[in-house]
Amino acid sequence: MVPRMEQLDTHLGGKRPFGYSYWPLPEDDPGVEIPRESLRLVSQDGALVRGLLWLPPGGKPWKTAVILSHPRGDFSVHYACPLLAAAGYAVVGFGTRYQNNDTDCLHENCIVDVKTVYDEMRRRGAEAVVLLGNSGGGSLMAMAHAELGIGDGWIGMAAHPGEGVFMLQVIDPSVADENDPFATVAELDMYNPDNGWRPWPEPCEYDRDWLARYRAAQIDRVARVDAIAKASIADAEDAGRRLGGVDKSADPAGWRELRRRTVFSRYMAIYRTLADPAYLDLSIDPDERPMGSLFAFPDPFDANYGRGGLARSMTARGWLSTWSGLSSHAKLADTMPQVKVPTILVHPTADTEIRVRQAKEIVDNAGAEDITYVEMKGAPHYLEGHRPEALAHVSEWLAKRFP
């Protein structure tokens, strides 16, 4: 008989698909059979929300449910699910309506999907429902609590300050023309040798005055992309207002022209979105991270220009709602003060994407009186090699507050 740990259960350590870094690994297997139930729910506005309900082993009764999701990730296969279920909790990992494709992702719709799962677990008898957010799921869950008032606790695991805020630190400010991926302002290019860059895998050294100008230019570029997106939306809204004054029977050609402009949705190609100098200069916000990025393979230079990065193709409204650090409402700086329920943040100190400084700012901004902060020394973003320990901290925290 093949030992259980070697069985290729796709949800408990089987071969994971490319890009699913949060997929359970063999060492995450809790060692007990975890019942699973497929969920297919319909939100109040008609969207399909799919996930897996993981239940405690042996039919053990449960009182508290933990739900976790991400704007585009399929968290039904998240490593936290089997580990928390083994600890005695009902756990729902699920994807929003934008699973695997956030081109038109609206966080305002994502939180409706979160509430759909929250309501389902209440319907199933949960006495408490705790929201868990990993990575970009942290800002999603905080926004759901802040705007919809749902959730009896908030768990952040490697949570960053918000997808738009994250974009502010990684977008390439040296792009001179949004329609030309090679147009570059040399003095703002972190991949220019004159500014301190050296070819991978040599470490780089960036002047701090230059870095301050660079950070300001990143904000400027996001503002320019915002302006393009807002102008497109404004044009469509203006056409819609004018459409109301046209009789389509009397003037079908005029009606058609305004109608197509009303329904038009601009798709934006956003080039070069992996350019954080801290990826290559580890003296910037020093911690235990290695050089490089989770989103690179391995050199951020290659991923900045080639495949990789984030928000590379977005609708105008999707950009503003999700990836604009100036326009998105999914910012923990805004939402965490409204999260007054018991809060825990688990931060891996070797995370290439999130700095220790940022993790502490999230905790400092929390509105709760009951706040716990745990650092996982030397752990990467998805906590490989540290997951059972990290979830043991979370389980202990849950047990003291939610039976």
Report pLDDT digits (tens) over 246-263.
Answer: 999 999 999 999 999 999
Q: Check: pTM over 0.75? Answer yes or no.
A: yes
Q: What value does the mean pLDDT take over residues 377-397?
A: 97
Under DSSP, the state recorded for 377 is: T
Between CA 188 and CA 213 the distance in angstroms is: 8
Between CA 403 and CA 394 the distance in angstroms is: 13
Q: What is the token pair recorded at 38?
A: 């497929």
pLDDT of residue 221: 98
Neighbours of 337 (CB within 10 A): 14
Helix (H, G, I), strand (E, B) or coil at 82: helix
Mean model confidence pLDDT for the chain: 95
Report pLDDT digits (tens) over 35-80.
Answer: 999 999 999 999 999 999 999 999 999 999 999 999 999 999 999 9
Work out the pLDDT band at 7, boundaries 50, 70, 90: very low
Work out the pLDDT band at 3, boundaries 50, 70, 90: very low
Q: What value does the mean pLDDT take over residues 319-343?
A: 98
Give the CA distances from residue 118 to residues 31, 68, 128, 338, 339, in Å, rounded to whole numbers and listed in that order: 28, 10, 10, 18, 16
Please determine, for residue 6, whether its predicted confidence score (pLDDT) is greater than 80.
no
For 400, counting Cβ atoms within 10 Å of its Cβ (0-12 exposed, 13-18 middle, 19+ buried), the class is: exposed
Please determine, for residue 242, whether its predicted confidence score (pLDDT) is greater than 70.
yes
pLDDT of residue 403: 79
Please determine, for residue 269, whether its predicted confidence score (pLDDT) is greater than 60.
yes
Helix axes 208-243, 252-263, angle to 10 degrees: 150
Please determine, for residue 394, whether its predicted confidence score (pLDDT) is greater than 60.
yes
DSSP 265-328: --EEE-------GGGT-TTSS-SSPPSS-TTSSS-HHHHHHSS-SS-SEEEHHHIIIII-TTT-
Q: What percent of the chain has pLDDT over 70?
A: 97
Q: What is the token pair recorded at 23?
A: 């997929």
Please determine, for residue 13, whether its predicted confidence score (pLDDT) is greater than 50.
yes
Q: What value does the mean pLDDT take over residues 350-361?
A: 97
Work out the pLDDT band at 10, boundaries 50, 70, 90: low
pLDDT of residue 205: 98
Please determine, for residue 5, whether its predicted confidence score (pLDDT) is greater than 50.
no
Q: What is the token pair recorded at 322?
A: 């999700």
Bond prior to 298 in cis (omega within 30° of 0): yes
Helix (H, G, I), strand (E, B) or coil at 85: helix
Helix (H, G, I), strand (E, B) or coil at 344: strand
Q: Are 131 and 141 in contact (CB under 8 A)?
A: yes
For 171, counting Cβ atoms within 10 Å of its Cβ (0-12 exposed, 13-18 middle, 19+ buried), the class is: buried
pLDDT of residue 297: 85
pLDDT of residue 308: 82
Q: What value does the mean pLDDT take over residues 172-192?
A: 97
